[in-house]
Chains A and B, each alone.
Chain A
Amino acid sequence: MAIPKVLGVETEYGILHTGVADPNPIAASSVLINAYIADLARKVDWDFEDESPGNDARGFAREGSMPPEVETHLVNAVLTNGARYYVDHAHPEFSTPECSNPLDMVRWDKAGERILGRSMEAADRILPPGQHIVVYKNNSDRKGNSYGCHENYLMDRQVPFARIVQHVMPHFVTRQIYTGAGKVGTEAASTGGIDVTFQLTQRADFFEEEVGLETTLKRPIVNTRDEPHADAQKYRRLHVIVGDANLSEVSTFLKVGVTALLLSMIEDDWFGDGGPGPAHDFTLNAPVQAMRRVSYDLTLARPLDLATGRSMTALEIQWELFGLAKKYADDRGLESIGPEEIGRDVLNRWEQVLGGLESDPSSLATQLDWVAKRQLVEGYRDRHGLSWDDARLAQLDLQYHDLRPAKSLFAKLNMERLVEERDVVSAVTEPPRTTRAYFRGKCLQRFAPAIAAANWDSMVFDLSPSKETLQRVPMMEPLRGTASIVDRLFEGCTSPAELLERLGS
């Protein structure tokens, strides 16, 4: 049985500090986040004790592989909505709280954008006149430097990792047709002779390996980081680095919803013995090349070679995955990715978007990022008769992702919404009710001064002077600590000591 897909998205935002001669992105990121949290309750430090990003899902710790640097001296906050907001490398990064369905995922991902927006306003208030910090939700600077938007999916530890790799790889390559955020031109050293004026994704240029632990160089399509932030005997967290940062809600919903559904199918061996048969295998002959081939193909018509000898387009592979998913939904249900109506909506929108891509991609201009951006860029290009290398088109590309409401081109496009803005605004401070993020968020709302540290899978309370030792509350089950339990726990609870007493009893 597929386990519930607890979800999360981490986004590294692009950052500019304008009005200074020698901008430092690390300092600017710190200023940005500090400005935001200065207004909030006492900042809670993130606790790194259980973090081991060097572990590998294939079951070995590689000699000489360096885990990503842990920058404990930098800003690192936990928010009352259960999110983590911090400086990673030279970017502000927002990690959503754990969500239990793809619609919540959209809501808290959007809440992240609002938090970055408020941070810019807060920074403007403390920066010297003429200086601004500006944030972009994109994945590249158009000069070969990329930063990520990573998805996370809780999975059953018992599922062989090789099976996950086999079936998720063709999906990651072909889902680009609806997850892409679009890019003018290319940053790849070689495009195999293709003249790339516009491509579907921000990220395809940057993937060089099929499977691996790295995230900053030699990026793999399937990342093997094995750090479940939960009971490691039971769970793995599939860490997905191959996606674009989406502004479109439909793109995010499908990116996360379809992937979660396919992972459930993999858990139930739906492509193999557990499925409708015969076994389905979409293994690509050259996935790394296929990533770019798909991203560069605006006609959506170029075929990819499969290991089985078949030749299929990305769209055809997605149609077959959809057909299998539909059968799976009828046979096994959609429970593992959330409430039935949300799962049905994933299927319906997936079908509708694939149909639109097939008949007329421009019909999806209010739904998908790459289509919206392409229409904007081509419209501007035609109107002014520009060549593709004109800087104004590159500028449009970047400014699509600008998070300032007055400057954001995305914001001007009237894209379809899946969540009400008031729900996004409440998610800036409120945690999801259906995961352990609720416990984390509520503890911070109620007892922030007594919380010494927080992590995905624990909270540490400092009850001094009444108690000398720090008390750790483990949270190894991502679906424990939801509103149904926590609200009762907190009812009438007046102090953190009382809370811990109740937890202990």
Chain B
Amino acid sequence: MPEREQKRRTTTTREDEVVEEAAPAGTEKADKIKAELDDLLDEIDEVLDENAEEFVRSYVQKGGE
């Protein structure tokens, strides 16, 4: 079994999503992902149906399997 760092996060706030001690490449990747997420959040309202409540209420399925 590989050696493992016992580092666990217990909070769920966005600020914590930045890894402080990541290698530069990792930071770059994380920054890129965050930038992409920001872009997506910018455009997301255009993708979502206007009436969220109505959409969520009307999404009804029969059980399957």
Spell out A's residues near B (CB within 8 Å): 12, 14-16, 25, 68, 88-91, 93, 140-143, 145-148, 150, 198, 215-217, 219, 241, 298-301, 319-320, 322-323, 351, 355, 358-363, 365-366, 375-376, 378-380, 382-383, 390-392, 394-396, 398-399, 406-407, 409, 412-414
Q: Which one of A68, A366, A382 contacts B33 once the chains associate, using CB atoms below 8 Å?
A: A366
Checking A90, A217, A320 against B62 with a beta-carbon cut-off of 8 angstroms, the contacting residue is A90
* A147 CB contact (under 8 Å) in B22, B58, B64: B64
Chain B positions within 8 Å of A, measured between CB atoms, are 1-2, 4-10, 12-14, 17, 19, 22, 26, 30, 33, 36-38, 40-41, 44, 47-49, 52-53, 55-56, 58-65
Q: Is the CB of B19 within 8 A of A12?
A: no
Known contacts A14-B59, A88-B64, A380-B44, then 17 further A-B pairs from the complex at CB < 8 Å, ordered by chain A residue: A12-B65, A89-B62, A90-B61, A141-B59, A141-B61, A147-B63, A147-B64, A358-B6, A359-B5, A382-B14, A391-B52, A395-B48, A395-B55, A396-B48, A399-B48, A407-B47, A412-B47
CA distance A97 to B39 in the complex (A): 38
User: Given the complex of chains A and B, what is the CA–CA distance between A12 and B40 in angstroms?
Assistant: 28
Least CB distance from A61 to B in Å reads 20
Residues of chain A contacted by B26 (CB below 8 angstroms):
363
User: Given A90-B64, A216-B65, A359-B7, does the pair A142, B59 have CB atoms closer than 8 Å?
Assistant: yes
Chain A residues near B1 (CB-CB < 8 A): 319-320, 322-323
Q: What are 21 residue pairs bridging A and B, where the CB atoms are less than 8 Å apart in the complex?
A: A91-B62, A141-B61, A146-B63, A146-B64, A147-B62, A301-B8, A355-B2, A358-B6, A359-B7, A359-B19, A362-B17, A362-B19, A363-B19, A365-B33, A365-B37, A375-B37, A379-B14, A395-B48, A396-B44, A396-B48, A414-B36
Assess whether A409 is in contact with B47, with CB atoms less than 8 Å apart. yes
Asked whether B61 lies within 8 Å of A91 as measured between CB atoms, the reply is yes
What are the 4 tightest A-B residue pairs by CB atom distance, in nearest-first order? A147-B64, A90-B62, A215-B65, A141-B61
In the complex formed, the residue of B with least CB distance to A402 is B47
Taking the closest CB of chain B, its distance from the CB of A329, in whole angstroms, is 14
Whether A399 contacts B47 by the Cβ 8 Å rule is: yes
- Docked CA distance A93–B12 (Å): 36
Chain A neighbourhood of B55, CB < 8 A: 391, 395, 398
Nearest chain-A residue to B48 (Cβ)?
A: A395
Q: Is the CB of A216 within 8 A of B63?
A: yes
Please name all residues of chain B whose beta carbon is closer than 8 Å to the beta carbon of A141 when the two chains form the complex: 59-61
Pairwise interchain contact B19-A148, C-beta atoms closer than 8 A? no
Kindly list chain A residues whose C-beta atoms are within 8 Å of the C-beta of B5: 358-359
A296 smallest CB distance to B (angstroms): 13
Contact of B40 among A140, A217, A219, A413 (CB under 8 A): A413
Residue of B nearest to A91 (CB): B64
Q: Given the complex of chains A and B, what is the CA–CA distance between A25 and B64 in angstroms?
A: 11
Closest to B60 in A: A141
Q: Which of B10, B17, B44, B65 has the most CB atoms of chain A within a 10 A radius of its CB? A: B65
Contacts of A351 in B (CB 8 A): 2
- Contact of B8 with A299 in the complex, beta carbons under 8 Å: yes
Chain B residue nearest in CB terms to A360: B19
Q: Are A379 and B37 in contact (CB under 8 A)?
A: yes
| A20 CA / B13 CA spacing, docked (Å) | 41
Report how far A16 CA is from B64 CA in the complex, Å: 15
A25 and B62 in contact, given A320-B1, A358-B4, A394-B52 (Cβ under 8 angstroms) = yes
A392 lies within 8 A of B8 (CB) = no
Of all chain B residues, the one with the shortest Cβ separation from A16 is B59
When C-beta atoms are compared, the residue in chain B nearest to A141 turns out to be B61
